[in-house]
Amino acid sequence: MKAYRDLAPSPRIIMTPGPVEVDPRVLRAMSYPVLGQFDPEFTGLMNETMEMLRGVFQTANKWAYPVDGTSRSGIEAVLVSLIEPGDSVLVPIYGRFGYLLAEIARRCGAQVIVMEREWGGVFPQEEIIEGIMRHRPKLVALVHGETSTGRLQPLEGIGRACREQDVLLVVDAVATIGGVEVAVDAWEVDAVIGGTQKCLSIPAGLAPVTYNSRVETILLKRKRIERGLLMEDAEDIKGFVAIRSNYLDLSQLQDYWGPARLNHHTEATTMLYALREGLRLTLEEGLVNRFARHALHESALVAGLLGMGLELFGDPSCKMPMVTCVRIPPGVDGESVRTMLLEHFGLEIASSFGPLKGRIWRIGTMGYSCSKRNVLLALGALEAALLRHGVSLPPGEALQAAMDVYAIGSG
């Protein structure tokens, strides 16, 4: 047989909007032997993880657990579990991931109403609230942090408006959880999906979700138990009407995560170890400190980029602290610069999607990757790569500007 070599990934500085570098403590946790899924030690770890997720989501919700898949599996789990074919769903879209919400809702059979905003801005909250009043949908689905454009949608007033109109609010906080305030209860958000491979700095593969009793009420109405688990043939297998997915059915997942411990899938043991350790690191740092860290390194990065004469993309009043979108200088091949950075500096920044493809780079400062060291190394590398691509810029200014933000003295 063909011989495959030992795994030996090169070291990388990952300054993208995810996946980002993983704390060595999380990597270490992943090297522990596995436990059986119903081993009381393992269910104990599951319970602890739920508790920690409540802390990170700033919620008293009973339900906070991961769906076993990457972030969009959590989004689809929430939408497919709530949406019955024909339900109306309002999706305000201001970037790629808004389109994704609309697409998933449509695949769930929803009548989707979209509101669109040019990429680079967000919606004034009143405009969304007006949309809610006008359309009275069953559900509003909204992206909190849109990594495709680097914009952050304010949410504070939208939850209240939804509650008043008896509309459900579902928020995609995949890119923001752990990096900026996501106050699930204070903002009256009904269901939220977080991401692991971004500001929580855990490998991709789980999608933490939380939801309140308004959501649970709907789930319980739609709930079905798998026939192969029943002692009796009580259920009429022919009359089955239920949530359109089995794998992403939150009504079954909560029976697996709750005291019933009803077998559904086999929990992804090692990913759960990673999630637990990543949440533990987040709570040890403290949410307030963690948000401040993200804001600080963003400031230094932005100062450096402006210092080298680059222009940022998008409305600065709604910029995400953990994603900085930079216009590619005219005449420069953005992919060539990215390749130079990866091949020679072992440093990755991101390209972009759809209408922004080839026009901007996206630089992430997320989680474990969000550090002084990384910001300084990235600025130095980018300056050098741009000079090599013939860009005219004031050499040395970028790093001096960033070092000023960090107040790095000379002696």
- Site size for a copy of itself, by CB under 8 A? 99
Q: 205 vs 304, which CB is nearer to a copy of itself?
A: 205
Tell me the closest approach of the beta carbon of residue 298 to a copy of itself, in angstroms: 20
Tell me the closest approach of the beta carbon of residue 196 to a copy of itself, in angstroms: 9
Report CA-CA distances (Å) from 232 to 225, 237, 243, 289.
12, 12, 22, 54
Tell me the closest approach of the beta carbon of residue 395 to a copy of itself, in angstroms: 28
Q: Residue 113, interface with a copy of itself (CB under 8 A)? A: no
**CA nearest neighbour of 311 among 298, 302, 323:** 302
Q: Residue 98, interface with a copy of itself (CB under 8 A)? A: yes
Q: Residue 288, interface with a copy of itself (CB under 8 A)? A: no
Q: Residue 267, interface with a copy of itself (CB under 8 A)? A: yes
Task: Name the E strands within 121-190.
Answer: 139-143, 145-146, 151-152, 168-173
Please enumerate, as own/partner, the contacts of 288-292 that have beta carbons within 8 Å and a separation of 24 or more.
Answer: 290/178, 290/179, 290/199, 291/179, 291/180, 291/181, 291/321
**CA nearest neighbour of 204 among 98, 74, 354:** 74
DSSP state of 184: T
Q: Residue 231, interface with a copy of itself (CB under 8 A)? A: yes
Q: 42 vs 406, which CB is nearer to a copy of itself?
A: 42
Q: Residue 69, interface with a copy of itself (CB under 8 A)? A: yes
Sequence-distant (6+) residues with CB within 8 A of 192 are 57, 170, 171, 173, 177, 182, 184, 209, 210, 211
Q: Residue 99, interface with a copy of itself (CB under 8 A)? A: yes
Sequence-distant (6+) residues with CB within 8 A of 159 are 169, 187, 188, 189, 190
Tell me the closest approach of the beta carbon of residue 130 to a copy of itself, in angstroms: 22
Q: 55 vs 154, which CB is nearer to a copy of itself?
A: 55
Tell me if 215 sits within 8 A of 82, measured CB to CB. Answer: yes
Q: Residue 406, interface with a copy of itself (CB under 8 A)? A: no
Binding residues: 362
State the Cα–Cα distance between residues 350 and 220, nearest whole angstrom.
Answer: 42
Q: 2 vs 221, which CB is nearer to a copy of itself?
A: 2
What x-and-dash track marks residues 74-93 binding a copy of itself by CB under 8 A?
--x---x-------------
Q: 2 vs 411, which CB is nearer to a copy of itself?
A: 2
Choose, by CB under 8 A, the member of 348, 379, 398, 405 that binds a copy of itself. 348
Q: 255 vs 348, which CB is nearer to a copy of itself?
A: 348
Helix (H) or strand (E) holding 313: none
Sequence-distant (6+) residues with CB within 8 A of 69 are 77, 205, 206, 207, 247, 248
Interaction with a copy of itself in 203-222: which residues (CB under 8 A)?
203-205
Tell me the closest approach of the beta carbon of residue 25 to a copy of itself, in angstroms: 9
Angle at 35 between CA 48 and CA 210, to 5 degrees: 35
Helices 71-82, 213-222: crossing angle, 10 deg rounding: 70
Q: Residue 251, interface with a copy of itself (CB under 8 A)? A: no
Tell me if 143 sits within 8 A of 94, measured CB to CB. Answer: yes
Q: Residue 244, interface with a copy of itself (CB under 8 A)? A: yes
| Whole-number CA gyration radius for the chain | 22
Interaction with a copy of itself in 174-193: which residues (CB under 8 A)?
none
Q: Residue 223, interface with a copy of itself (CB under 8 A)? A: no
Tell me the closest approach of the beta carbon of residue 280 to a copy of itself, in angstroms: 5
Binding residues for substrate: 362
Interaction with a copy of itself in 130-159: which residues (CB under 8 A)?
148
Report CA-CA distances (Å) from 231 to 37, 63, 227, 228, 251.
21, 27, 9, 8, 20
Choose, by CB under 8 A, the member of 29, 161, 250, 376 that binds a copy of itself. 29
Tell me the closest approach of the beta carbon of residue 179 to a copy of itself, in angstroms: 16
Helix (H) or strand (E) holding 208: strand 207-211
State the Cα–Cα distance between residues 212 and 260, nearest whole angstrom.
Answer: 19
What x-and-dash track marks residues 315-344 binding a copy of itself by CB under 8 A?
---------------------------x--
Tell me the closest approach of the beta carbon of residue 365 to a copy of itself, in angstroms: 15
Q: Residue 240, interface with a copy of itself (CB under 8 A)? A: yes
